[in-house]
Structure formats: C-alpha cells, structure tokens
A and B are shown apart, each in its own frame.
Chain A
Amino acid sequence: MRLRIWLLVGGVVVCGVLVGFFVTRFLNPTPPQIDAITTSSTLEGRPVVDFNLTTVAAVGTAGQGGGEHPNWVGYLPTTYLKVPAGAVVHMTIDQEDGQTGLRNEFFGLVRGTVNDEMTVDGKVMGALNPALAAHTFTIPDLGVSVPLEGVAANAAANAMIVVQFEFVVPDKPGLFRWQCFVPCAAGTLYGNGGPMQTLGYMAGELQVG
C-alpha cells in the first residue's frame, strides 16, 4: 500500500516536472531583446535611433535557442526590439532571402513610414511589385508595413538588398507585435507554419519605452 502511494506521488511529480518544462520551454520562450542604437540625429525634435536587421533563408546556429531550427527562415539577430518612447526608428534591413511573392498584394504598398516611403538600395520607393517580395516588416497596431524585396534567383552568390525606412513610435510606452505577411515558411502547408508561428523568426515584439 505504501509503495503504491509513493509510486503515485512520484508519478505526479514527474508529470508536474514535464508539464512545467513544456510550459516554460515551449509555450513561453523569450528570445533575446536588443536595444536600438542611439544616434545624435533628430527629426522634428524627436531622437532618431537605429536598428539593423538581416533576413536570411536559414538562420543556422544564429537562430533562437542556439540553432534549434537551423533551416528556418528568420530575422537576425532577433525579433525582440526595444526603442525609447517617441523616437524615430531608422530601420536598415539587409535582405538576403529570395523572392516568394505576397499572398495579399495589399502589403506591396509602403504604409506608416515617414513620407510613406522606403529606400531600396538607395532608390526611394512607395510600393513594391508584390511578386518581388521576400518578406514584410509590419506592425499592425502602428499602421507600419514595408514590403522587402527579395534577391533575384539569378543574382550573384551572397547578393543582398538593403531596405531602409523610418517610422515614429508612440510617445507612451507600449508593446507592439510585428510580423512578416509573406507566408514564407518553406516546407509547411501554404508557407504558414514553423517560423511563421514561432516567436523569434518571422514574428516578434517592439517594446516602446
């Protein structure tokens, strides 16, 4: 009888540990957060801060958790960003991934950035041919959406497209989710699985303040 009780207690403890491990390890991951780089520039009295992200077709060992999913597409070094309230974010994205095309052409338009513009390899643009897009950088609650042109299939090895744009974050602190609107998860149903559904790859958070 006493043995059964101990077996029962042991079983409960093991189950509890497994559930706790699952919850903390898989349901509540915390990708690393990076702070914006402060600059001496201002725009209309607001401080300008820099971010530099890179999109890659496969994150390799630089991905979350030391390379849990090396073959997943993702933003590097992380998708958890922190900026001061009221700042102008000057974003530079080194686009190394290839063209997939937008599922909804609506996201081909640059929205919510300063002057509703971006520069692609130095060229000012207000919209992108949706077929050329590899990803988007979209913060729905701030109305910011920028299509990112992908590297052409016939481009030279290690080719890269540099996309730059600026947007203003609110004066009040807040947490805003951002994501890619191209179903770019290779090998998953219609491209919507894996890195599209996991924080730290094609989705993240912008902490303001």
Chain B
Amino acid sequence: MRNRATATRIVIIVWLVAAIAGDVALALAPIPPGQASDLASNESFTIQLLAEIGWPIFSAVLAALFFTLVVNRLAPPTAEVSGDALRGNTRVQTTWIAATLVIVLSLAVYGTVALAIDQPGDGISNDSASLPMPTSTSQPLEVQVIAQQWWFTYRYPTYGGIETAQLVLPVNQKIQFHVTSLDVVHSFWFYALGVKADAVPLNDNVISATPTRIGTYRIQCAELCGLWHGNMADNTAMVVSPSQFAAWIQQETTIDAPIMKYLLPYSHTYEPSPAIYGS
C-alpha cells in the first residue's frame, strides 16, 4: 500500500511538471496563424486558450493511463481466478465531472460571446451598394476578391473600381473583403490575416480584418477547383504603409486606364453569360 501511495505521488508530481512545462511552452510558442491582423490575433488567442486548457487535461489522462498500466499491473495468475471487484471513488469522479463541466460550459460561453461580437454585419450579402471612401481607419476599405479558374483578381471600388492581379492593403486599415467567383466554388485563403472565405458564384461572401504588420504574404485557394487548383496561389500579397498604398493605387490606376472602359460596373456578384460561354 505504501508503494502504491508513493507511486501515486510520483505520477501526480510528474503530471504537474508536464502540465506546467507544456503550458509554459504553449505560452511561448508561435501559435498559428500569427499576429498579422486583428482577426489572426483573435484566432491565435483562441487556439492558445484551448491548448492551454486542454494540455493539462490531456496530460492527466496520459498520467492516469500510465498509472493504471504500471502501478495496477498484476502478475499473471497461476490459475484461473476472478479479478478483484471494481470499486468506484466518488470523490475522484465528482471532481472530474465538476471540473470538466466548468471548463466546457466556460468555453461555450466564451465561444458564444466571441461569435456574437465578432465580425458584426459580415457574412453572406446580396447588397450591391458599395461603401464610400473611408475617411478613417475605423471605416472599412472594401476590397473585392474575384476568383476564377485559376487566378484571384481584386477590385477596389473606392478607387474607381480598378482591378488588379496583386493584392495590396494598407496597414492598420480595416479591410472588408467581398469574395465572389466567376465560375466554380473556390476559397480565398489569406492565412496570415486569418481570412478564409468561400468564393461562390453569384454570392457575396463578406469577411473583415485589419492587417497590422507590413510584409509580403501568401494567398491560395483552399477549395479543390479543377486542373490548376494547386497552382492557384501567389506569394505577392502585400501589406504596406498608407503612403505606399496610395502610390500603388495611383500606379495601378494608370496601368488599368486602357481597360477601364471595358470593365463591368462594380458589383458584388457578376452574372455568367450562358448564352455565350460553352456554346
């Protein structure tokens, strides 16, 4: 019995050390998707919170499993005998149920509140009215993401509806992405910003984020969309300073000038023309 008590203490100490060390490591580790936007930071925080809570529980289960396998292990019986009667431990069971209930309910409340206050007004929209030019960083800058097999292009309704092959965003400016598709279902995944939205023909999928770190990022399609799906990606998306963004917009406006008269008026969705295509 003394050996059993000693083993229990050792397992508990090992579990405590592992739980604390794991949580410290998680606190110090870079948690995806990172801190490149407010949305990404929120996602990283949620992942970290869940991991920090989950690791002690997971390691406790492992410790209990180890304890059961090693300490409770009996020598092979020499004859066929019945095992000892199973005995419950009301205090342990009650503690376990109460603790997990508190954790799960707390996370449910946290998730519900986060969902309620996150991305107000975003989601699927069929409102075709475009936003006015933002006068402050708190007003969102609308950027349309147009997916087509197999390239993303981008329209900036605030700047005359110019369309570009490169996504460039001003830092610390809330961006409201309007994601749509011209053919099949794609998925716009700007991993570093924590932005991922399906691009569905005739649907306007809205998601917002505020990029907070200047840099060059990768964008890719996250929905199997045909022959070149694996290549529907680029590493040239940029978050730049407001002055650099203004200069880039000016440059793209000049480049786009010959085609502007042909571009369709800005809209949140674009009707296909079955009478022409595929005929």
Chain A interface (Cβ < 8 Å from any Cβ of B): 100-101, 103-106, 108-109, 111, 116, 126-127, 129-130, 138, 140-141, 143, 145, 177, 179, 181, 183-193, 196-199, 203
Contacts and interface: CB of A to CB of B under 8 A. Distances in A.
B263 A126 contact: no
Interface stretch (B4-12, B61-69, B168-176, B227-235): B227-235
A109 B277 contact: no
A105 B259 contact: yes
B4 to A, nearest CB: 53
Given A106-B163, A109-B258, A186-B279, A140 B234 contact: yes
A197 B226 contact: yes
| Binding site secondary structure of chain B | loop
B111 interface: no
B226 A191 contact: no
Contacts of B183: 103, 183, 190, 192
A189 B272 CA distance: 11
A124 to B, nearest CB: 12
A138 B232 CA distance: 13
A188 B182 CA distance: 15
A103 B141 CA distance: 26
Contacts of A183: 183, 277-278
B153 A104 contact: yes
A22 to B, nearest CB: 17
A167 B127 CA distance: 41
A199 B228 CA distance: 10
A140 B262 CA distance: 21
Interface in B129-183: 146, 148-151, 153, 163, 165, 182-183
A103 B182 contact: yes
A105 B262 contact: yes
Contacts, number: 90
Chain A CB within 10 Å — which of B231, B263, B278, B279 has the most? B278
Interface of B: 146, 148-151, 153, 163, 165, 182-184, 226-228, 231, 234, 255-256, 258-259, 262-264, 272-274, 276-279
A143 B252 CA distance: 14
6 contacts: A103-B183, A177-B228, A181-B151, A183-B278, A190-B183, A196-B227
Contacts of A104: 146, 148, 153, 163, 182
B59 to A, nearest CB: 44
Given A140-B150, A203-B228, A188 B278 contact: yes
Nearest to B278: A191
Given A129-B262, A192-B149, A197-B227, A101 B278 contact: no
B165 A111 contact: yes
B274 A190 contact: yes
A113 to B, nearest CB: 13
Given A109-B259, A129-B262, 7 more contacts: A101-B277, A103-B277, A104-B148, A108-B262, A190-B183, A191-B279, A192-B277
Contacts of A184: 277
Nearest to B231: A177
